[in-house]
């Protein structure tokens, strides 16, 4: 079927000769291991982004002197598209993801990209690869835009050439057998980000630096690290790939955005819904001691993470300095569940999107 949106951007399309889709076991999708037939590519050189093209997904040739490999001038986004019906694929909040991509680009002095090219590229990719959008409940097509320094340059300074790719990957349901509350631990040995650093940017180095503490936490039986602020080791920040929320009494407390936390798109959606449902919503500093005190007083009703991958992830346990608190009998709480249901209902088009969060693509 033809696209109904008249696009202002012309993207050259080189379609695959034969699809690889038969190689994919859609019943057993593992996150981020299979890539759809096509990818978007655009190069930046001599001060401007050049002709965009969509071509078969495949290997790229790089030199060992590639600036990114040495200095990590690389940024990305993570978002999802959902199967609504045989003619419609829903992309969740592409405008907000693109805004964050540009915010990240500015921090890493990577040239910004325009929204028209971004959304046209996504529409074209989905029209070509709509069969790669899995249909089972809970599944989605994960979309990964990335931009990296592509000059061959060993000097430790910004590149003047960049490559912009968008690749997509069918992903399975995050909760195959119901919600599994995660176990979090704080760490005093490491920090993730500090105000003035790159914490609020979605840039490669933030993740590389978190792998060792994450591995140590896993070896101790925890799912993830619950990051505290880098200066005082006192205030709660976020988790590896999700933001965190605390329901204390009737108040939903979410760590505020002061520069070291990634401003999550799901976080923003959670805050909007909670406000609309009449909860007191506070974005502010919250200390780990306040969380433990609230638990002691019986006021800590729920703790959950929010992020593109799981949408809402209940937290069943927090460990801090030798003490452990258990939250919610290892089950998802009613507010977390209602948020999960409401956001996924909008994503799959099961309920009307009164917020304008979904960008529907006719395929």
Binding stretches for ligand PLP (CB under 6 A): 78, 238, 241-243, 262, 264-267, 306-308
| Residue closer to ligand PLP, measured from CB, 264 or 316 | 264
Give the integer Cα–Cα distance in Å for 164 and 76. Answer: 9
Q: How many CB atoms lie within 10 A of CB 13?
A: 15
Nearest distance from C-beta of residue 75 to ligand PLP, angstroms: 12
8 A C-beta contact, residue 186 and residue 320: yes
**Which residues are within 8 A (CB) of 167 and not within 5 positions of it... i.e. 6 or more apart?**
35, 36, 39, 57, 143, 144, 146
Give the integer Cα–Cα distance in Å for 238 and 1. Answer: 43
Nearest distance from C-beta of residue 305 to ligand PLP, angstroms: 8
| Residue closer to ligand PLP, measured from CB, 68 or 313 | 313
| Residue closer to ligand PLP, measured from CB, 217 or 265 | 265
Q: Where are the alpha helices (DSSP H) in the chain?
A: 67-71, 94-107, 115-128, 204-219, 265-276, 288-296, 334-347
Nearest distance from C-beta of residue 201 to ligand PLP, angstroms: 10
Nearest distance from C-beta of residue 309 to ligand PLP, angstroms: 7
Q: How many helical (H) and strand (E) elements, i.e. helices and strands, does the chain have?
A: 7, 19
The gap between the terminal CA atoms of the chain, to the nearest Å, is 6
| Residue closer to ligand PLP, measured from CB, 145 or 307 | 307
Q: What is the dihedral of CA 226, 227, 233, 236, to 10 degrees?
A: -70
Which residues sit opposite 148 in a β-bridge?
74, 163
Nearest distance from C-beta of residue 345 to ligand PLP, angstroms: 17
| Residue closer to ligand PLP, measured from CB, 24 or 228 | 228
| Residue closer to ligand PLP, measured from CB, 54 or 265 | 265
Nearest distance from C-beta of residue 203 to ligand PLP, angstroms: 10
CA angle 163, 264, 311 (to 5 degrees): 105
**Residue carrying structure tokens 């050189």:** 45
Nearest distance from C-beta of residue 244 to ligand PLP, angstroms: 9
| Residue closer to ligand PLP, measured from CB, 66 or 310 | 310
Q: Which residue is nearest to ligand PLP (CB)?
A: 264
């Amino acid at each position: 079927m033809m696209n109904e949106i008249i696009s202002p951007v012309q993207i050259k399309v080189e379609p695959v000769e034969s699809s690889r889709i038969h190689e994919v076991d859609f019943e057993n999708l593992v996150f981020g291991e299979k890539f759809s037939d096509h990818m978007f590519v655009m190069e930046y050189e001599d001060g401007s982004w050049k002709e965009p093209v969509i071509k078969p997904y495949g290997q790229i040739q790089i030199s060992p002197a590639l600036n990114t490999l040495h200095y990590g001038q690389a940024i990305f986004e993570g978002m999802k598209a959902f199967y609504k019906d045989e003619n419609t694929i829903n992309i969740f909040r592409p405008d907000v993801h693109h805004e964050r991509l540009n915010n990240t680009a500015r921090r890493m002095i990577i040239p910004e990209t325009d929204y028209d090219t971004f959304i046209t590229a996504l529409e074209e990719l989905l029209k070509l690869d709509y069969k790669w959008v899995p249909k089972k409940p809970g599944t989605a097509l994960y979309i990964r835009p990335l931009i990296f320094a592509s000059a061959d340059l060993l000097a430790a300074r910004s590149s003047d050439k960049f490559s912009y790719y968008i690749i997509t990957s069918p992903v399975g349901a995050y909760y195959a057998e119901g919600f599994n509350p995660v176990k979090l631990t704080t760490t005093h040995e490491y920090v993730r980000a500090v105000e003035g650093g790159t914490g609020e940017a979605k840039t490669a180095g933030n993740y590389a630096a978190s792998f060792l503490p994450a591995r140590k936490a896993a070896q101790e039986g925890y799912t993830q690290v619950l990051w505290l602020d880098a200066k005082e080791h006192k205030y709660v920040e976020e988790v590896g790939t999700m933001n965190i929320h605390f329901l204390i009494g009737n108040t939903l407390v979410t760590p505020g955005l002061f520069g070291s936390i990634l401003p999550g798109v799901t976080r923003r959606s959670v805050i909007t819904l909670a406000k609309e449902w009449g909860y007191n919503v506070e974005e502010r500093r919250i200390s780990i001691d306040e969380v433990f005190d609230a638990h002691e007083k019986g006021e800590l009703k729920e703790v959950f993470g929010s992020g593109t991958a799981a949408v809402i992830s209940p937290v069943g346990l927090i460990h801090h300095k030798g003490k452990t608190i258990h939250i919610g009998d290892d089950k998802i709480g009613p507010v977390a569940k209602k948020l999960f249901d409401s956001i996924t209902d909008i994503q799959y088009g099961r309920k009307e999107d009164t917020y304008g969060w979904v960008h529907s693509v006719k395929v």
